[in-house]
Amino acid sequence: MIDCLSAVNVGRRFYNLMIKGKDYEDKRVELFRKYKAPTALAITLDKKQKEMDSLFKLETQMFYCHASDEEYISLFSYMIVVTNSRRHSLDYRQAKKDFKIGDLKNHYRKMYEQMLFHEETREYEK
């Protein structure tokens, strides 16, 4: 149930960004073809849940730090690959490298921590 709901939510947000003039289904099929992998690389359910949790956290940080549409598109593309990686045997590791998710996590974690630090110091000064 959680898997279906997360796939629907990611799909809606991704569709709302209007992926550079392409249809959502076209983009999804393109991702499936690009990251097709042997079933031996399938993600476990626990790892998939942890990865999705970290991606939702990243999405929150990106929202508060005013990320660009291109960064959101790469995040949502990767979310689609992770969400469907088990069912369609997709290589989520390669997708993570291609969409530079590690760089996004580091960048927005630092920005978010700085933003929180400045909020705390402002509250303390009052």
Alpha-carbon dihedral angle through residues 27, 91, 58, 15, given to the nearest 10 degrees: 10
Q: Are 112 and 64 in contact (CB under 8 A)?
A: yes
Query: Which residues span the domain enclosing 92?
Result: 2-125
Q: Are 100 and 48 in contact (CB under 8 A)?
A: no
pTM: 0.74
Q: Give the pLDDT of the chain (126 residues) as one tens digit per residue.
A: 344 444 445 555 655 554 555 566 777 788 888 888 776 567 888 999 999 999 989 988 888 888 888 898 889 889 888 988 888 888 889 999 999 999 999 999 999 888 887 766 665 555
Instruction: Give the C-alpha separation, 97 to 104, whole Å.
Output: 11
Report the number of distinct structural domains present in the chain: 1
